[in-house]
A and B are shown apart, each in its own frame.
Chain A
């Protein structure tokens, strides 16, 4: 690699050619403040907070975008630099509600920390007079607050480039610029999939999840309610970050302990129904393979993905597995099987799920998700919301003991844990399908080809003569590529796993902020570590699931399963409210 020599604040440093000033400065231990910059996204250099002096240049240069050249002399902390940064920040603040105390991002806001870092102590510009569009609370999962938006456009890029949804774009010009859905309508009136990836990259409190914590607190305080909680596979590898633990640590036991201390009657695990999903979905796949059903069959556990296909590929819904997601299977069973078993009236059971995902809030509100006779899931909290509750309760997460999930809906295998990472559902399914079909024990349960952050992964498995070709996509942009292949008749796969979010649920829209690709990698590693550490690593070996079939469901794809665990989908189209105009 060609290297260039530059001087940053009197320190010589050698960096690869093409590095930015930001990178060069980092190398000498200087962290130039940034705001619009995001390490995983294209550099747009719009906020002008990161400006530095380059000797010889007429103007200040944006460190995030400006490549270094050999011999460049950079000053990151001159009076002119400090003045410009501060003015630019003050300009943003002057057009921003002074609302930190009531803000979802209070103390975890990039704008707020910058104000502190750059020494803003008074408001020198006149108070803002112009108002922006009102807060949009139309969707089940998300709230957008244009007043707080600082127009960094990270959300736009994620929504267009990463997710290929394109629900929101900059509209208008100049001081009237806002990020908005087409026509300036509510987000719910356009084909937003509620994945929350936008909320994950937003530096401020301008996009965030609908709050379900209040209803959970109320349920917990209601003595007539039996409040149970389920935790998604990806929570155990991310929740620690909210409490200062390094990304990549597994905190399953502390998570359980915290939930108990919050007052949940039973702490269960979505992993239980993840194992169940594998049994149901595995059999569904085999049935399709044997009976000539629609192939490739595509997984259905990611609600953002489901909404995506309903909007953008409605004519391909038959490819979706009819299995509900683990969250919803759990809810349906909690209010039937578990209710029966414990003799608690299902109307008194309150099911809370802890999810890495904002779309789960949307999913649990879908009208078809009431097969138990009640709303199968009553509240879906994101990882961030759970952390907020733990903080509010004053629980010192880091020093909690390790505790175990409750039986029976808390019993699971390693196959369920890996649901949390892209490729996990596929790997779990292969572990089971292989053994069911071949009646042989797998030599190695690890299907490494389907793991990792890469957008589209492929593998082929030999099921005693029948070759099954599979594909795995994460992030909707990659999902779109696979769907286009199917559309063109070029997809020769039998089974496809699609996860809405980059990296799968460990990178979900409800995960701790920041969630970057580097952090995703660490969480992925943690997921596979957790899998490795478990005695049982195949879903069909889960004893509690076996009991469930014996006592209640009888057989995979049976009558009860069909009623409680499977669902159907709705054609939505790209312009969901066009018909209403």
Chain B
């Protein structure tokens, strides 16, 4: 292998590509060529580096200098100063953006010390932004497929299940179900065929972590799936990617082909009796297909409507066979757990919810993008440290955790640790890890309108409370924003929300009212104002702005 003096990792995540990363990369290559540096400097397209909102982004190693918000002229500067002369171009270096105008600006803090990175702990994103996702060799060079090798050659299936159980890894798809326990049910079944399904239907508004994991480190998912297959005795894997994720589909297909060529998928893997293959299938635009049984229905060529449980997929899933459905992020955790052991994993995060969590930070926040932090980090740390605070120094109004299905937390909760247990206790959820930060210029009712519209659009229509209820919730919130809602309707809203949470068939309908109920609870005044025909934020068009006049 040629030794390069520097590696330039250009972010090839969808957000950066959208902002012209590919053009910049071409320019970069041209410039390097022009300076005849091609033998010394290697340019690699990688997965998401994190601060997507500040894209396009690239990192130059060994210095680890991250440049953001790049324009073509910046590339010229970077090549000339940094790559040729070895001087970091300070003014282009990525800085966390602080709302308190420019506190850190100018001081050339070494990159690794920035809060943005220092609070992060990269397990799932271990390779994202560090290797070329289209190269299995680079993955292997970073200990890739070592865990699979160890598992199939030195561990029994039961031992693998036990390690995962001991790690206390919880599913990262939203519900937080213990992964080891799930695997153990399926491992105990006997069946001529079992399936491992990787759930990459990511559709929760505000969530794009799975997309960027797939784009950035597809082999990590494949390895996790293969280990899962070995653990429960499945020989067929399926990765179900939402139809809109073109690049993810491409990357995964490519990675599967490479792994198959290398004998890491297919028959008799690593000379053992273990066989495992993976198919890529795609959805066609239905959020509910992220629900595991709806996903299975969709794979069987049906309308993506959730099934009645029991039986659970682990016992009778795809084609009635035992089926494990795991989220992308869950599976990406598997190889590191096998390699480093369950104790190591439990040493990260909190006692009940160990490990890291990939969050997407969005909305009114300076560093919009992807971060991986230990479980139990507080909301405040996410918003004000990792996230760099709220733009324009505006006030924090609320955070919606767990995507549109989650609840909304006002500032009293800023110091609450973010993990599955704690959040569900206050009527919210960690869910997929989307953190939507909303500042005090927004109107609760207006935001809720958008939340509720989502569920109207995405309800599958199978069960009564959700099919009819989502529309009614939206209708009443709309009425609030137009000033025509009544007190009794607010009462009805609460009753309806409760009935939906308790009686809808699947998680979609059960969680649709979460945001509404938490807001009714925490922002009662604002609702009252709307009932009185006033919108304190001045956003609802038909209403007057009579601030706090309640």
Contact = CB atoms under 8 A, between A and B. Distances in A.
Chain A directly contacts chain B within the complex, with at least one CB pair under 8 Å: yes
Interface of A: 43-49, 51, 59-60, 62, 65-67, 80, 83-84, 87-88, 91-92, 94-95, 124-126, 150-151, 170, 172-177
A91 B468 CA distance: 6
Contact of B460 (A47, A48, A51, A174): A174
Name B's interface SS. Answer: helix
B504 interface: yes
A174 B498 contact: no
A60 B503 contact: yes
Contacts of B456: 174-175
Contacts of A126: 475, 479
Given A51-B502, A84-B502, A87-B499, A170 B303 contact: yes
Given A94-B468, A175-B468, A88 B492 contact: no
B286 interface: yes
Contacts of B459: 173-175
Contact of B461 (A65, A80, A88, A174): A174
A83 B498 contact: yes
B510 interface: yes
Given A88-B464, A124-B492, A175 B501 contact: no
Q: For the complex of A and B, list the 7 residue pairs with the smallest distance between their C-beta atoms, beginning with the closest.
A: A177-B461, A91-B468, A87-B499, A174-B459, A84-B499, A84-B503, A174-B461
A47 B308 CA distance: 12
B240 to A, nearest CB: 18
Contacts of B460: 173-174
Interface string B451-465: 000001111111111
A170 B467 CA distance: 13
B286 A48 contact: no
Contact of A87 (B465, B475, B505): B465
Contact of A174 (B464, B470, B496, B499): B470
5 contacts: A48-B465, A51-B503, A151-B461, A170-B303, A174-B467
A176 B457 CA distance: 10
Interface residues of B, number: 34
A49 to B, nearest CB: 8
A171 to B, nearest CB: 9
Interface centre among B460, B468, B495, B504 (most CB of A within 10 A): B468
A176 B303 CA distance: 14
A119 B496 CA distance: 17
B472 interface: yes
Contacts of A88: 464-465, 499, 503
Contacts of B469: 87, 91
B465 A91 contact: yes
Contacts of A176: 461
B110 interface: no
Contacts of B475: 126
A150 B479 CA distance: 26
B189 interface: no
B492 A125 contact: yes
Contacts of A66: 310
B488 interface: yes
B99 interface: no
A43 B470 CA distance: 24
B332 to A, nearest CB: 28
B355 to A, nearest CB: 23
B505 A43 contact: no
Contacts of B510: 59
Contacts of A170: 303, 461
Contacts of B462: 44, 46, 177
Contact of B308 (A60, A65, A173, A177): A65
Contacts of B504: 48, 59
Contacts of A83: 495, 498-499
B258 interface: no
A43 B492 CA distance: 30
A177 B286 CA distance: 14
A91 B103 CA distance: 55
Given A87-B496, A174-B456, A175-B468, 7 more contacts: A43-B308, A46-B464, A47-B463, A48-B464, A59-B510, A88-B499, A88-B503
Interface string B480-510: 0000000010001001101101111100001
A72 to B, nearest CB: 13
Given A59-B501, A83-B499, A91 B463 contact: no
Given A83-B499, A91-B472, A126-B475, A174 B458 contact: yes
Contacts of B470: 174-175
B135 interface: no
B422 interface: no
B260 interface: no
